[in-house]
Amino acid sequence: MTTRILDLPDVSYVLPGNRSCAGCGIGIALRQITAALEGRMVMTVPASCLTVLGGMFPIASVNVPWVNVAFPSTAAAASGIAAGLRATGREGEMTVLAMAGDGGTGDIGIQALSGAAERNEDFIYLCYDNEAYMNTGTQRSGLTPAGARTTTTWAGKRENPKDIPRIMEAHGIPYVASTSAAFPADVYDKVSKARGITGLRYIHMNTPCPSGWGFDPKDTVRLGKLAVDTGLVVLYEVERGVFRLTGRSASLAKSGKPRVPVSEYLATQTRFRGMKPEAIESVQTWVDERWARYVARDAGACD
């Protein structure tokens, strides 16, 4: 099922006047995520940008049940909510959605997430990956890309980001997907599909961040798309172990056309300013190798 952007439901559980930054990718995506679940859901959210978006007591900006939890605990909280709903006979009433940032998922939250995945707990975990600790002032995370300057990597991060979706795949959970906030219909379709699956469903969502990455808020969607066109971000899903590219990444692979060089993408953001040519070359090599693997898997090769 592929939904066209014009066919997305005209409903919003995200209220006007929320506290996200101008151009924040989370706001675009959250509308589709909550719409895909038709509001029949409970979210659990750790300390993150999303906490800020949700509003400050006694005013809330999102019209679905929302349970704030401690930073490392998102997946365990979702496990507890799911267990509590089962124990009280309400598990059919709503989908449990855990939603955390890249640091909350891949760094401090990975232990609880790995435990929940191994137990195949019944919830959707969506990581909005804005590639650093944006809520605390742009410190590097394990998912910050190589070359990015953050407030703890002043000369640019030296390491490539860790591949959390692949780690999640290794847990053998029923559904793993990679999407981008710049593709609302892709987000909507993947959350809709995940909704119909039982067990732990993991969705990784690249989420452009104007303030942390250093670009004009009007360019969020443009940069999100450019990231996909370079192959830095790849749209795909792994359903019960079967991998396939989706949307723009599938078209890109099928077209056989060259991908946009990563240097073009890196040049759009101040966080990559001053990156040395050899560092850019290293990122290009890393992306090329990954892309070749995704294309091969899409064609049926085992990873």
Question: Which residues form the interface with other proteins (CB under 8 A)?
Answer: 39-42, 44, 51-52, 54-60, 62-70, 72-73, 75-88, 90, 93-94, 111-112, 114-115, 118-119
Nearest to 95 by CA among 7, 24, 175, 164: 175
At its nearest, how many Å lie between other proteins and the CB of residue 255?
42
- 113 three-class SS: helix
Choice between 59 and 267, CB closer to other proteins: 59
Taking CA atoms, 106 is separated from 30, 31, 78, 143, 250, in Å, by 20, 24, 16, 7, 26
Decide: 210 and 22 in contact? Cβ < 8 Å.
Answer: yes
Identify whether the C-beta of residue 159 lies closer than 8 Å to the C-beta of residue 148: no
Rounded least distance, CB 109 to other proteins, Å: 10
Closest-CA residue to 161 (of 71, 93, 233, 214): 233
Which one, 58 or 277, has the nearer CB to other proteins?
A: 58
- Minimum distance of other proteins from residue 232's CB (angstroms): 32
- What's the length of the chain? 303
Query: Minimum distance from CB of 149 to other proteins (Å)?
Result: 28
CB of 277 to other proteins, least distance (A): 44
Query: Which lies closer to other proteins via its Cβ, residue 63 or residue 285?
Result: 63
Task: Specify whether the CB–CB gap between 204 and 164 falls below 8 A.
Answer: yes
Nearest approach, Cβ of residue 271 and other proteins (Å) = 27
Residue 74 or 206: the one with the smaller Cβ distance to other proteins is 74
Reported as type and span, the H/E element at residue 201 is: strand 201-206
Cβ neighbours of residue 1 under 8 Å, at least 6 residues apart? 189, 192, 193
Nearer to other proteins, 171 or 293 (CB): 171
Minimum CB separation from other proteins for residue 55, in Å? 6
The secondary structure of residue 103, as a DSSP letter, is I
Q: Which is nearer to other proteins, 72 or 224 (CB)?
A: 72
CA distance 213 to 270: 6
C-beta separation of 274 from 284 below 8 A: no
| Residue 283 near residue 146 (C-beta atoms within 8 A) | yes
Q: Which is nearer to other proteins, 114 or 139 (CB)?
A: 114
Chain center to CA of 105 = 10
